[in-house]
Structure 1
Amino acid sequence: MKIYTKTGDAGTTSLLGGTRVLKSHERIDAYGTIDELNAFVGLLKDQKVNAERADFLKQIQDRLFTIGSALAADPDKANIKHPDITEADIQLLEAAMDEMEVGLPALKNFILPGGHESVSFAHLARTVCRRAERNVIKLAQNEFVSEVIGKYLNRLSDYFFILGRKMALELGVDEVIWNSRNKS
């Protein structure tokens, strides 16, 4: 099977269900950003420091693919079957964050991305996740999007923040603290 179809050459693509929309459509932007985030999660998963978390990060990739398929489905075609994100998925993220926070120093300052390449990848995932969340919220203003998707993405960005902190601790690198300029 060839990967290229040439059907998108004129700037349109098909949703699940067959409806063609512009590639600039909010729905395409939303699931495209989810795809971008999934690539960053793969990069995070491949970091040696995350070897013990690789299975959990793979599970996050699976959930992101689930979200992508939900966003790619034509909301006007109710007979399209795809897996769902559930509250249990959110609870798994919360439990993972609670576990990672054990042993982390108290957060007293804003933290800047950096300090180690692997930690920076966690911050990239966090910021792309926030953008995906904004895109989903924007789409939900005009079309149906399950509320649990936005909740999952909100929690997932928190997960990546905590993951970056945990990775810095495990790598033995200092977190980069934001130092504001004092205004007189």
Structure 2
Amino acid sequence: MKVYTGGGDKGKTSLFSGERVPKHHIRIEAYGDLDELNSMLGAVAAYLPEGEQAIRGDFEQIQSHLFLAGAWLATTPDSSATGYLTALPVNVSKDLEKRIDALSDVLPVLKEFILPGGQPVAAWAHVARTVCRRCERRLTELIEVSPDAGNSELAAIQVYLNRLSDYLFVVARYLNQLLGTADKTWKK
């Protein structure tokens, strides 16, 4: 199978549900941002310290969930193609909360704002967090401008992205601590 088709050479692309839309369409922007986040997580995972299997496993599962979410964003809600899609697992956001709590239990209590940075892998986790926040903003825009987009699956994805950004914040702090770098607090 060829990677290139030439079908998008004139600035249009196809949604999973078959419609041709401009490459700047809000749905394309929304799942494009998810793709960027997924790639960012792959990059962060590549720099995880040896032996950090729990976070590596989390990332693989999250990347899989982001593929599921992207398929929903690439499909118009009234399309018959939704019948081929897989919903996010029911407890996906609750599972992230459990991981946030487990990682937070080994971190100093946060009493001040911290600056993103520290060890390179932690700094990249902070970048992934900001990309995740952009995904969330783009999704809320899609839901707002497309009345038919506010289905329950997109609402679940919105909650998941909100929780995922919190998880990535905690991961960044955890990685800094694991690698011997303290949080750098914001000084007014």
Instruction: Tell me the TM-score normalized by structure 1.
Output: 0.93
Q: What does the per-residue CA deviation read over 1:7-66, in whole Å, with 9 as the maximum and x for residues that have no partner?
A: 101110000121000011111000000000001111121223273221111000000111
**Percentage of matched positions with identical amino acids:** 41
Alpha carbons 2:48, 2:56 under 8 Å: kept: no
CA contact (8 A) 2:75 2:81 kept: no
Partner of 2:37: 37
Deviations along 1:96-142, whole A, 9 cap, x unmatched?
00100112111011111111111101100100000000000000012
Instruction: Return the alpha-carbon distance in structure 1 between the equivalents of residues 183 and 45 of structure 2.
Output: 20
Number of aligned pairs? 180
Contact 1:86 1:148 in 2 (8 A): no
Structure 1 gaps of 5+ residues are none
Counterpart position of 1:114: 117
Instruction: Determine the structure 2 residue equivalent to 1:69.
Output: 71
The runs of 5 or more residues in structure 2 that have no matched partner are none
- Please report how far the alpha carbon of residue 74 of structure 1 lies from its aligned counterpart in structure 2 after TM superposition: 2.4
- Provide the rounded CA distance (Å) in 2 between the counterparts of 1:40 and 1:11: 25
- One-letter amino acid of the counterpart of residue 171, structure 1: L
Q: Encode CA deviations 1:124-183: one digit per residue, 9 max, x unaligned.
A: 010000000000000001221421010000000000001111111101112121111xxx
- Residue in 2 that maps onto 1:18: 18
Aligned-partner Cα distance in 2 for 1:130–1:61: 16
2:3 corresponds to which residue? 3
Aligned-CA RMSD value: 1.2
Name the aligned partner's letter for residue 132 of structure 1: C
For the residue of structure 1 that corresponds to 2:79, the secondary structure is coil
In 1, the alpha carbon distance for the partners of 2:5 and 2:121 equals 37
Give the TM-score normalised by structure 2: 0.92
